[in-house]
Structures are given as C-alpha cells and as structure tokens.
C-alpha cells in the first residue's frame, strides 16, 4: 500500500507555503509589537486571545465537517482567511486592529484544522499514521525554516523595516490557496442527513467520547495549560543581549531540526509505539525549559533549541496520530478539533500567565515553573494513560 498519497503531498505543500507566510512573521511579530509600544504583558494577552479564537472554533468546525461529510471547503476557507490576515497587520498599529488581524489568522486555523487533519487521517491506517502526520509536520516546518530565512535576509538589507514584510508574506499565502484547488476530495455519495451543528457540540462529544480519549486529552491539555507561546523563547534570546538576527537565526535552527526529525520520528513511533516517542518528547521539553532558566550562553541556547526541535517533532504530529488511532473514523474531525480547540483555550491561559510571570518574577521563574509542571505531566502519562487502540503502546 502506498503510504504517502497525492492528497497527503498536496495538503503538505499547502501547509508548507502557509508556514512560509506565517513563519516569515512569527519571530518578527514580538519584535514588531515591542517597536509599536506593546508591553510583554500585552504580547502575552494578544497571543492568548489569538489562540483562544482558534480554540473556540476548532471543535465547532471539526464537528461541522464530520456532520457534512466534507473536508475540503473548510480547508480552503481556513487557509484563505489566514492569508488575508497578513497584510492587515501592517495597515494600522492601534491595538484593536492588531488584535483583530491576529485573531482572523487564528480563526482561519480554527476553521481548517479539524477538517485537514481528518483528511490526513483518512489517507492513512493505524500502522502508517505516524509517518503521514510526521511528513505533514515536516513539510509544514520546512516552511518555518524558509519563512524566517527570508525575513532574516530582508532585515539584513532593510533593518527595522518590519511593515513591508507583512505585505511580502501575503504572496506565499496566495500560493497555498492555489494548491487547495488541486486537491480532490473523496466525498461519500450516499445521501447524508443534514445535521445542525451547534457551537458547543464538541463539548457534548467530550462527554460521550471513549474513556481512553478523555484520559489522553486530559494529559495533553494539562501540558498545554503551561506550554506558552514560542514567542517567549524568542524573547529569551533577545533578553540575553542578542540581536534580532541572532533571535531569528536560532528560531530557524529550531525549525530545521523540527523538520528533519518529524518524519523519522513518525516512522519510529509507528514501529515502537506512539506513547513511547511522545513521552521522550516531554522529557526533552523539561530539559529545555530548565536549561533556559539558567543559561544565557548562545552556544548552550543553540543546543537547547536543537533539543526543542526534537521535542516538537516527537509530540505534535504524534499526538494527532494517537488520537486518530483511538477514535471512530466518522468522528475524527470532531475528536481532533475538540482536542486542538481545548488546547488553544489552554494556550490563552498559558501565554497570558507566562507574560505575567515574566513581568513580575523574571524569565527564570517562567521557565522553571513550566519545567516542574512538565515533570508532573510525565508522571500522569506514565501512570494514568495506558495504551489504547492500535499501535499506541
């Protein structure tokens, strides 16, 4: 059986170009926001609200795609809104407009995530989902290498000219939309009874979902509740006295590691079990955050970002593959949408709390507290979350 299908490749290319667009801006946004007088607390609140916007819609639109039996319309609309949000960030600088533009980007993510991941899941089997989601994450993260690299090159020639980057980032966003029109969805030709989707149906799904799903997602959400935006890691580089170029360079390095390891770790997870690889990722995350608390040396920070890239490769796609393997195929969009929805709401709390902790007690307190919570999450997964479904040991 062919593991990587045409649809998987096209969805991966869509994500690649979207990430070129988004990640061209991601390491620049906190620097840009500080340049227009956003405080560290407001940056945390902005990221939290943006993620909450995605969170409150992922479960809803995931459920709607399950009810309709269609995925592609949600994929196209979601990627289109994210592309449109990029030039909006540069038009005006007053806070409400910035909040609206950033939230539109995350709304697009909310609309597409459950449907896209359900399409990926439908192209795989329980024995190949680690590799399918791993390839998608790898291509997605390749965009996170190319995007910041382009930003770095631009800022080398035009330092502090941030606004133009937001317009340039619109171009790869349009390319990603074009790729969605090459995707052909296998729609069930049976007449499907139209089911009304209510906004909080994903919460009802939580109540009726398999027990193993609830245990797994509870652990993932506990972790998400203290896993703040990566922007704080970029700000750690900046606060250690390094230049904009060094901050973006370290972020590119992290994404390079993430991209290189995602597919191989997906293959390893398919062979030895998703849970083992995921737990290994959590261990690396704890090491990174404790290391960040006590180091300002650029070489040590580079090494920690290397470990951070491996952590991301071992957890992001793996968690979705794990969820796909323990839930019914007809509920895949709802199951992943519910998880990623609650995850985004947790990110609102995590990023807001992180901004406050950094502001009140310093960066060290933020990284130490996050590392301690991660150890608690590790214990939870080892003791509470048993294997469930195929290939999840």
As given in the structure block, the two tokens for residue 309 are 């890239």
197 domain residue, yes or no: no
82 domain residue, yes or no: yes
11 domain residue, yes or no: yes
User: The pTM is what?
Assistant: 0.74
- Domain that residue 240 falls in: 6-184+208-383
Residue 340 belongs to domain with CATH number: 1.20.1250.20
Q: How many domains does the chain have?
A: 1
> What count of Cα atoms within 13 Å lies in the side-chain half-sphere of residue 241?
4
pLDDT at 174: 93
For the segment 78-120, what is each residue's pLDDT rounded down to a tens digit?
999 999 988 887 777 777 787 788 888 888 988 998 889 888 8
391 domain residue, yes or no: no
199 domain residue, yes or no: no
If you write DSSP's letter for every residue of 211-238 in order, what string do you get?
A: HHHHHHHHHHHHHHTT---THHHHHHHH
For the segment 1-60, what is each residue's pLDDT rounded down to a tens digit?
577 888 899 999 999 999 899 888 876 777 777 777 777 677 767 766 776 777 778 777
pLDDT at 341: 75
How far apart (Å, rounded) are the C-alpha atoms in residues 333 and 339? Answer: 10
282 domain residue, yes or no: yes
What angle is formed at CA 61 by the lines to CA 259 and CA 106, rounded to 5 degrees?
50
389 domain residue, yes or no: no
């Amino acid at each position: 059986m062919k593991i990587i299908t045409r649809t998987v490749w096209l969805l991966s290319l869509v994500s690649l170009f979207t990430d070129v667009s988004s990640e061209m801006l991601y390491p620049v946004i906190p620097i840009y926001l500080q340049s227009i007088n956003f405080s560290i607390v407001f940056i945390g609140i902005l990221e939290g609200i943006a993620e909450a916007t995605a969170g409150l819609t992922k479960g809803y639109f995931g459920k709607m795609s399950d009810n309709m039996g269609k995925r592609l319309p949600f994929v196209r609309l979601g990627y289109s809104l994210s592309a449109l949000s990029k030039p909006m960030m540069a038009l005006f600088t007053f806070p409400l407009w910035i909040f609206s533009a950033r939230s539109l980007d995350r709304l697009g993510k909310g609309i597409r995530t459950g449907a896209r991941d359900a399409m990926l899941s439908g192209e795989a089997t329980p024995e190949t989902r680690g590799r399918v989601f791993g390839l998608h994450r790898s291509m997605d993260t390749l965009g996170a290498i190319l995007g910041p690299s382009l930003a770095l090159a631009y800022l080398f020639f035009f330092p502090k000219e941030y606004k133009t980057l937001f317009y340039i980032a619109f171009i790869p966003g349009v390319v990603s939309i074009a790729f969605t029109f090459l995707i052909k969805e296998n729609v069930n030709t049976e007449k499907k009874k139209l089911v009304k989707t209510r906004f909080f149906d994903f919460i009802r799904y939580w109540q009726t979902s398999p027990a193993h799903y609830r245990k797994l997602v509870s652990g993932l959400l506990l972790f998400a509740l203290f896993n703040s935006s990566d922007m704080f890691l970029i700000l750690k580089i900046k606060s250690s006295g390094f230049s904009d170029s060094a901050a973006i360079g370290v972020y590119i390095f992290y994404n390079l590691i993430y991209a290189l390891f995602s597919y191989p770790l997906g293959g390893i997870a398919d062979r030895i079990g998703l849970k083992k690889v995921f737990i290994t990722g959590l261990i690396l995350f704890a090491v990174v955050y404790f290391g960040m608390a006590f180091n300002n040396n650029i070489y040590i920070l580079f090494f920690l970002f290397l470990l951070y890239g491996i952590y991301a490769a071992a957890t992001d796609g793996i968690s979705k593959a794990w969820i796909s393997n323990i839930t019914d195929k007809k509920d895949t969009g709802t199951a992943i949408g519910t998880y990623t929805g609650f995850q985004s709401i947790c990110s609102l709390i995590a990023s807001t709390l992180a901004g406050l902790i950094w502001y009140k007690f310093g960066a060290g307190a933020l990284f130490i507290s996050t590392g301690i919570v991660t150890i608690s999450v590790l214990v939870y997964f080892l003791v509470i979350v048993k294997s469930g479904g195929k290939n999840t040991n």
